[in-house]
Amino acid sequence: MKSTRMFLIVFCCCLASLEMGCSIFTPKKDVSRFYTFCGYDPLEKVSDSSSLRRVIINIIVGEIPSYADCPYIVTVSTNDRLILSEVDRWAEPLQDACTRALTNKLSELMYDYAMVIPSAYTKGNVFLCDYLISIGFSDFIYNEAEKKVILECTWSLVDFATKNQILVCRYAKSIPSSNSNYENVVVTMKLALYELAQDIATKVDQFYLDLENRENSCETKKGEKRLTAKMTKQNENRRIGKNESVEIFHQDSW
């Protein structure tokens, strides 16, 4: 009787332990949320009319702050304290997300004269282009205390053939974002990248316009020189012809 009772007690304890163990080791539901800067593929958009492009530009995002180079979305709170979200994450490296977002916007802004290609599409390949736009971020984060996204970077326009820097510009921008939820933070960060793309496009447009004006001016000067030489030659021929006729007249008069 005692042995039966003891067996039942041990059996019940085993069942309880087994049930507790199952509840502990049962996989928890993954509640992670993944974000990126979505947009169209620029190669698909310009594929039908790429023959109209006169300039090919390659976008390279070379530097991302170390604190942001991680899967977790990072924000900054008071006293310069960083906060890493355990739930809200980037769906891809932030460097790739920034490259694609900037390429998409620049493709739209420079559509009339340039085909913009992200460096992600040229990795491992020898890719020839006319210019490189290299961007290095020194700060790109949402500040919870000031309720705004801060973007600071330096970008340069480089001639691919000569490797000479044509433009070097410093850019800093802060965009308010009253709602601090991560979905809104990502949208505001994307907007900050679009503002950067607008600044780049404006300056590159001006450079390209100045370049065309210089080329047209050179062609005009060459045309003027050719016209002047032609007119000089014609005047010389007319002068020689006139002198020959005078000499013939004098010989006939004798």
Full-prediction pTM beyond 0.85? no
| pLDDT score of 241 | 59
β-bridge mates for residue 150, sequence order: 141, 174
Cα–Cα distance, 131 to 166 (Å, whole number) = 10
| pLDDT score of 171 | 96
pLDDT tens digits for range 132-180: 999 999 999 999 889 999 999 999 999 988 889 999 999 999 999 877 7
Question: Quick one: DSSP state of residue 32?
Answer: -
| pLDDT score of 199 | 95
Q: For the chain, which domains are there?
A: 39-212 (3.40.50.10610)
Cα–Cα distance, 219 to 39 (Å, whole number) = 41
Q: How many CB atoms lie within 10 A of CB 115?
A: 24
pLDDT tens digits for range 3-23: 566 655 655 666 555 555 554
* Cα R_g (the chain), whole angstroms: 35
| pLDDT score of 218 | 61
Q: How many CB atoms lie within 10 A of CB 153?
A: 23
Question: Quick one: DSSP state of residue 28?
Answer: P
Across 181-201, average pLDDT: 93
| Helices vs strands, H then E, count in the chain | 4, 8
Across 29-47, average pLDDT: 65
- The candidate with the shortest Cα–Cα distance to 101, out of 53, 50, 140, 131, is 140
Instruction: Lowest mean pLDDT of 40-49, 68-77, 90-99, 187-196, name the range.
Output: 40-49
Across 222-232, average pLDDT: 58
Helix (H, G, I), strand (E, B) or coil at 172: strand
Beta pairing, strands 55-63 & 33-35 = unpaired
